Amino acid sequence: MGKLKKQKEDLVKWEKELTEINSRIPVLKGNIAESQKELSALYKREEVLKERIRLGFLVFPEVTDHAIVRYLERVHNIDIGSVKDQILSPDVLTQIEILGPNGKFVNKDLHVIMRNNKVLTIYDPTDGHSGNNQQTSL
């Protein structure tokens, strides 16, 4: 009879373990389904972000120099034609006639850097800007 008692104890133990397993399986299946949904959502979001980056949607908008000029002209009533005349003063125009359209030209206390008959930049030599990043013929 000892053998039957042992088998009965084993049977009760196995039935209890089976009940525990059967109660855990739906929970784990639910966790797996939830994890799969979350994983799927993450993969979709990853693809959306990659595409946005590829297309440049995440680049912060830029303001062009043209827009700035128009803003100064239209909102602050700055006469752009007058600014151009001040940059290409009679002194600078005389220097261009003598030296050609490329180089560094002095305009009062400012230097005007030109290349191919176009003003590229203007700087004040006393404020630490030397204009050395521009190729000049002077």
Query: HEC profile for 32-67?
Result: HHHHHHHHHHHHHHHHHHHHHHHHCCCCCCCCCHHH
- State the pLDDT at residue 131: 54
Q: How distant, in Å, are the alpha carbons of 85, 94, 103, 134 from that of 120?
A: 15, 18, 10, 8
CA count, 13 A, side-chain hemisphere, 109: 3
- State the pLDDT at residue 129: 61
- State the pLDDT at residue 9: 92
Report phi then psi at 136, rounded to 5: -125, 160
- State the pLDDT at residue 26: 92
pLDDT tens for the 138 residues of the chain, in order: 688 888 999 999 999 999 999 999 999 999 999 999 999 999 999 999 888 888 876 677 789 999 999 999 999 999 999 999 999 999 999 999 999 999 999 988 899 999 999 999 999 988 866 555 544 444
Determine if the pTM surpasses 0.75: no
d(CA 119, CA 116) in angstroms, rounded, equals 9
d(CA 125, CA 104) in angstroms, rounded, equals 11
Q: Quick one: tokens of 96?
A: 């261009």
CA count, 13 A, side-chain hemisphere, 107: 24
- Phi-psi bin for 63: left (phi > 0), alpha (psi -120 to 50), beta? beta
